[in-house]
Amino acid sequence: MNRPLVIGNWKMNLDYVEAVHLIQQIGVVLKNKPLEHVELVVVPPFVDIRSVTSVVDSERVAIEVGAQHANVHEAGAHTGEVSVSMLERLNVKWVLVGHSERRAMYAMTDEIVAQTLRTVVRQGLAAVLCVGEELSIRETEGHNDFVTTQLHAALEGLDERWRPLVTIAYEPVWAIGTGLTATTEQVREMTEHIRTVAASLSLGEARVLYGGSVNAENATALMSEGRVDGFLVGGASLKAESFLTIGQAANDCYDGKR
């Protein structure tokens, strides 16, 4: 089993004052009750990153900071965008690539996803490649093929050097922010499918996460029965208590306590 990874995607929530408050709360809880086995990451909006990393550094919070997106280009005339090297200067270690909200609302095609992933890993940052089908595809049993296509489009031909920097997050679109979590069986089947496809692309070691309405109540079952290596958490990452309860569940599953 890979070491668990639990990522909190704050999306477009929390201004920098609220973000500082949340990371401080997380820090206090982690000081009293460290999560021995789990790698924790928070992914704030761009404008909060500097404030969050300042707290993480000064208060030595055992957490890394990620970004929700980065521009596919390295620099230049791209008004409103943020580059990977800018993120790296802020000590960002992770970047989400191809989140379904970016794909659906901001025209992120498979091709741009593939190029962005390369821009991220070339800079030495870890990429969390998000894949997952819409409900209509699941209803017609097309989910495995759909995810295979997304994985191939993003990962085929990726230089060997960069492969250890890739994590895959399975996020069925119909489960994101809807309260409709995939069943543990659906998660296990897809996790196994993704591991097979990843192995065929020589990425057999990549961690596979699940995301989509993960919360403090369902995390243990999703982790142990769904056989994932961790979670990409949206809504439930906006409160220290629920985020860290999910982290604790991942920790205990790894430890064999659950």
Query: Which residues contact ligand PGA by CB under 6 A?
Result: 9, 171, 176-177, 211-214, 232-236
Separation of alpha carbons 38 and 141, rounded Å: 34
Identify which of residues 47 and 180 has a Cβ nearer to ligand PGA in the complex: 180
Least spacing, CB of residue 212 vs ligand PGA, in Å: 5
Q: Which is nearer to ligand PGA, 206 or 219 (CB)?
A: 219
Residue in the shown chain whose Cβ atom is closest to ligand PGA: 234
Nearest 5°: the CA angle 246, 210, 100 is: 120
C-alpha 201 chain-centroid distance = 20
Closest approach, Cβ 176 to ligand PGA, in A, equals 4
> What interhelical angle do 110-122 and 143-155 show, nearest 10?
50
Catalytic residue among 39, 64, 69, 99: 99
Return the number of other C-beta atoms located less than 10 Å from residue 77's C-beta: 6
Give the tokens for residue 63.
Answer: 């957490």
Please tell me the total number of residues recorded for the chain in this structure. Answer: 258
Output 178 or 202, the one with its CB closest to ligand PGA. 178
Catalytic site includes residue 99: yes
Report in angstroms how near the CB of residue 9 gets to ligand PGA at its nearest: 4
Least Å from the CB of residue 167 to ligand PGA: 13
Cα 199 to Cα 56, 145, 243, distances in angstroms: 35, 16, 30
Minimum CB–partner distance for residue 173 and ligand PGA (Å):
9
Spatial CA neighbour of 226 closest among 174, 177, 172, 179: 172
Residue in the structure block whose two tokens are 């919070």: 61
Helix (H) and strand (E) counts in the chain? 10, 8
> Measured between alpha carbons, how far is 206 from 167 in angstroms, rounded to an integer?
5
Looking at 69, 143, 171, 193, which residue is catalytic? 171
Q: Which is nearer to ligand PGA, 74 or 232 (CB)?
A: 232
> Which lies closer to ligand PGA via its Cβ, residue 196 or residue 244?
244
d(CA 135, CA 156): 26
Residues assigned a catalytic role: 99, 171
